[in-house]
Structure 1
Amino acid sequence: METTTTAPVTTTAAGLRYGLLTGFVSIIFTFILLATGQEGNSGLALIAFIILIAGIVFAHKAFKAGNAGYMSYGQGLGIGVLVGGLNGTLSTVFNYVYRTFIDPDMVARTMDQMRAKLEQAGNMSEAQIEQIVGASMKYSTGAIGLAIGVASGFLLGLVFSLIIAAITKKAEPEFE
């Protein structure tokens, strides 16, 4: 009789699979926000963090399922950073495409909303407001915006994974 054993799941495989899945879920969620005009709703934007956290948790669970229930802290950290990085990359590229080709007026609307909020606060001069809006425009569009978005994805993956991996890790016994 032939016995079949499955190969252990690698950290890269788990991170890639769940990073892509989480990225696509984030894109769908972002598109829904944009299509309904809720992109400025910070309460709904928190759901994006929940999506990332869930992606990391599910990636850890899948890794452990393929590795006899074990995962070291370092493996969990690596998986989470990969999930966060892929999620950030896909989301950033989607936002770039959306703002550039689908709704090019969105950037101007967002900057106008920012300007209105700063003016309403009443604690800045017009020159300071223009400086802030100009810097925001520079760092949220083009190649700089893409680089910041991708780096932010990896950074968020790292931050969340530092906590999540500490909770989900299960070290393999050293002596069996």
Structure 2
Amino acid sequence: MEAKKPTTGKFGLIYGTAAAIIGIVFTFMLMASDLLFDPSPVKSIVQAIIFIVIVILAIYNFKKNNDNYLSLGQSLAIGAIVAIVASIIGLIFMYCLTTFIVPDFWAQNAEATRAIMIENNPSISPEDLENMLEMQSKFNWIIYPAMLVMNLVVGFFTALITGLILKKTENLY
């Protein structure tokens, strides 16, 4: 009896769910430490590193469970599935966060942005500041598709590089 081959879909689903859960836990950690609205780029860098490591682990473990074989196509499929699953779960969580968990999320975000704008440009007029914040509030929805696109781009390039490094195809002869 031949051993059952692993599927890219299964690995993508498992690791995509893991990435989303870790991202959600990270968000709650930021909330607990009062850093949710902190403008530091470190948060984004840490989230990106976590996501990249999970994509790499998914591909590596797939190869390990696939008799040490991995094609570039399999690597890209796993990366795409991880990114899509993590994004969908993350988007649902983001909606819940901004609607139910922190109902005044966008108002708090605007206040944090106001403080940053004043700090970076102390001579800004109150009218200009209000106009900028009002314009920003009209485009809050952009975070949802941007999150999806960023995860797909990062997932694709991570899977591409990882697949090129770990690629090993079966000898059919």
Query: Shorter-chain TM-score: which interval?
Result: 0.7 to 0.9
Runs of 4+ in 1 over 6 A off after TM superposition: none
TM-score, structure 2 normalization: 0.83
1:113 matched residue in structure 2: 112
1:136 matched residue in structure 2: 136
Question: What is the identity percentage for the equivalent residue pairs of Structure 1 and Structure 2?
Answer: 28
Once the two structures are superposed, residues 57-111 of structure 1 have per-residue CA deviations (whole angstroms, 9 ceiling, x without a partner) of 1111221122111111121112112112211221222122011111112221111
The unaligned stretches of length 5 or more in structure 1 are none
CA gap of 1:100–1:68, structure 2 versus 1, over 3 A, is same
Q: Shift in Å at residue 128 of structure 1?
A: 5.3
Q: Letter of the 1:38 partner, please give it.
A: L
Matches of residues 160-171 of structure 1 in structure 2 within 5 Å? 160-171=158-169
The unaligned stretches of length 5 or more in structure 2 are none
| More relative contact order, 1 or 2 (CA 8 Å, 6+ apart) | 2
1:31 matched residue in structure 2: 28
2 CA distance for matches of 1:139 and 1:66? Answer: 44
2 CA distance for matches of 1:32 and 1:42? Answer: 16
Alignment RMSD (CA, Å): 2.3
Q: Letter of the 1:110 partner, please give it.
A: N
CA gap of 1:74–1:133, structure 2 versus 1, over 3 A, is farther
2:13 matched residue in structure 1: 16
Q: Letter of the 2:161 partner, please give it.
A: I
TM-score, structure 1 normalization: 0.82
Q: Does 1:159 align with 2:157?
A: yes
The count of corresponding residues between Structure 1 and Structure 2 is 170
Q: Letter of the 1:119 partner, please give it.
A: I
2 CA distance for matches of 1:22 and 1:130? Answer: 37
2 CA distance for matches of 1:30 and 1:14? Answer: 24
